[in-house]
Amino acid sequence: MPERQQVSTIVNARWVATVDAHNSILENQSIIIDKGRILAILPQTQTEYAAQDTVNLPHHAVMPGLINAHTHAAMSLFRGLADDLPLMTWLNDHIWPAEGRWVNDDFTRDGALLAMAEMIRGGTTCFSDMYFFPNVVAKAVNDVQMRAQLAFPILDFPSSWAQNADEYLRKGLQLHDDFRHHPLINIGFGPHAPYTVSDGPLQKVVAFSAETNMLIQMHVHETAFEVEDATQKSGKRPLHRLHELGLLSPHLQAVHMTQLNDYEIALLAQTGTHVVHCPESNLKLASGFCPVAKLLEAGVNVALGTDGAASNNDLDMFGEMRTAALLAKGVSGNPSAVPASAALRMATINGAKALGIDSVTGSLEVGKSADLIAVQLDDVTCQPFYHLESQLVYSTPSSQVTDSWVAGKRLMKNRELTTIDLPAVLARTQEWKKKIAEADHP
């Protein structure tokens, strides 16, 4: 008998949802992990490998880590600060004053750590962030060892991070240089929205993006008001303006997209523009309904995001998958729209495609990074269990996620975080809460 090959980790899983091209579901498999990558996926009876760390998961499904394709991580410190309000009251009387007063290096680091703790515990291994002080978030992500795209903000107006569009761009491009070779972090452009960034900076974004292959994430057509207002003022719907500026391409991740006509859906498909759907935020702010079923049918890649915790109010991608699958049926009037397998793809491989990292992550396939989670399915909420994808999407609370690995590094071990000091994060959250609550007097 030949000597067994030494590897870092073997995960023995009762079920595996690979989310590969065929949505293959496997049973009783060993996932062999070495040097941060998936070396093999094979029946548990095979014995050609020996591992430093063998993890037995007899009641668990293993699946790709979820990809939260749009959030504002640090805003978790504003979770539930102001709810059930008209959008402009929420922004003018609560969120913007709070941001103006509190957002700095410390706030952003503490908020990002709180968000990452919640995300890892809920099965997310990769997220896209859009917030001030992305340099601070990058450092925190590096410490925690999650995977992330940080879309640095670009606005026409000043913030505590930069004074004008040029300064946002300069700082962001510097950040991109600093993290150019980081294995887990990509820096992208985050022009906030059509109504907050003028043509000049957007033209620069298009030019830099073409030159560097950096990706772009932007809020687009979030509300009917945004579209009507722009159309009245300029005679153009925002998406058409972006198209004229050359923004619609596989480099663009257009977030929200609740207002889309058939011509625009075809345009998105034709240009390879990605859509990031945030169903719970869209519901909570009464923004409108993204036509997800139509987009998927047209061949548009639709990823999934929670948006920030100030408008959701959680970063739970299991909940978001479920809401996306349910809402698409209600909105389209078709109970077969966005079946469980499609929702699962939106939360994994579609997110990886949007973020330009689908050769690295988003599915469990040999050669990809070992970005995976384990979900325990013997709880009463998950029983009986007939079909794995349906189970994962429609009746699995994120509290059933027990373990998480990113690039082979175990970030959660039986519900315990290994790279975040959770009590310290919660203690700092308490301190922020006291200060923020005291000052929140609209």
Distance CA 135, CA 239 (A): 30
- The count of residues interacting with a second copy (CB under 8 A) is 68
Which residue in 101, 240, 329, 413 binds a second copy (CB under 8 A)?
Answer: 329
Which residue in 2, 21, 47, 335 binds a second copy (CB under 8 A)?
Answer: 335
52 binds a second copy (CB under 8 A): no
CA atoms 17, 147, 366, 56: torsion sign: negative
Distance CA 162, CA 191 (A): 13
Site for a second copy in 410-439 (CB under 8 A): 422, 425-426, 429-430, 432-433, 436-437
Which residue in 46, 234, 270, 334 binds a second copy (CB under 8 A)?
Answer: 334
Q: List the beta strands (DSSP E) in 257-387.
A: 274-277, 302-304, 372-376
Distance CA 303, CA 261 (A): 19
Which residue in 212, 249, 332, 419 binds a second copy (CB under 8 A)?
Answer: 332
97 binds a second copy (CB under 8 A): no
Distance CA 189, CA 252 (A): 9
Site for a second copy in 272-311 (CB under 8 A): 280, 282-286, 288-289, 309
Distance CA 356, CA 188 (A): 11
Q: How far is the CB of 426 from a second copy (least distance, A)?
A: 6
Count each helix (H run) and each strand (E run) in the chain, helices first.
Answer: 16, 16
Strand partners, 56: 12
Q: Which residue has the tokens 């949007």?
A: 354
383 binds a second copy (CB under 8 A): yes
Distance CA 64, CA 83 (A): 33
Stretch that binds a second copy, among 112-120, 146-154, 227-235, 403-411 (CB under 8 A): 112-120
Closest to a second copy by CB, 273 vs 348, is 348
Closest to a second copy by CB, 2 vs 384, is 384
Closest to a second copy by CB, 52 vs 334, is 334
Q: How far is the CB of 219 from a second copy (least distance, A)?
A: 17
Which residue in 240, 390, 413, 419 binds a second copy (CB under 8 A)?
Answer: 390
Which residue in 142, 196, 395, 419 binds a second copy (CB under 8 A)?
Answer: 395
143 contacts: CB under 8 Å, gap ≥ 6: 419
Which residue in 391, 403, 404, 408 binds a second copy (CB under 8 A)?
Answer: 391
Cα angle, residue 187 at apex, residues 244 and 350 outer, rounded to 5°? 70
Which residue in 16, 32, 55, 77 binds a second copy (CB under 8 A)?
Answer: 77
Q: How far is the CB of 96 from a second copy (least distance, A)?
A: 16
Prior bond of 350 cis (ω within 30°) = no
What is the Cα 65 distance to its own chain's centre? Answer: 11
Closest to a second copy by CB, 9 vs 398, is 398
402 binds a second copy (CB under 8 A): no
Distance CA 310, CA 321 (A): 19
Distance CA 172, CA 215 (A): 12
What does each C-alpha distance from 6 to 162, 309, 411 come to in angstroms? 50, 43, 22
Q: How far is the CB of 326 from a second copy (least distance, A)?
A: 4
Closest to a second copy by CB, 211 vs 386, is 386
Sheet strands side by side (includes 401-406): 37-43, 25-34, 5-17, 49-64, 372-376, 401-406, 409-413, 416-417
CB 128 within 8 A of CB 69: yes
Stretch that binds a second copy, among 21-29, 183-191, 214-222, 326-334 (CB under 8 A): 326-334
Which residue in 57, 321, 337, 401 binds a second copy (CB under 8 A)?
Answer: 337
Distance CA 288, CA 270 (A): 24
Interface residue list for a second copy (CB under 8 A): 77, 79-81, 83-87, 90, 114, 117-118, 121-122, 280, 282-286, 288-289, 309, 312-314, 316, 319, 323, 325-327, 329-330, 332-337, 339-340, 378, 380-381, 383-387, 390-391, 394-395, 397-399, 422, 425-426, 429-430, 432-433, 436-437, 440
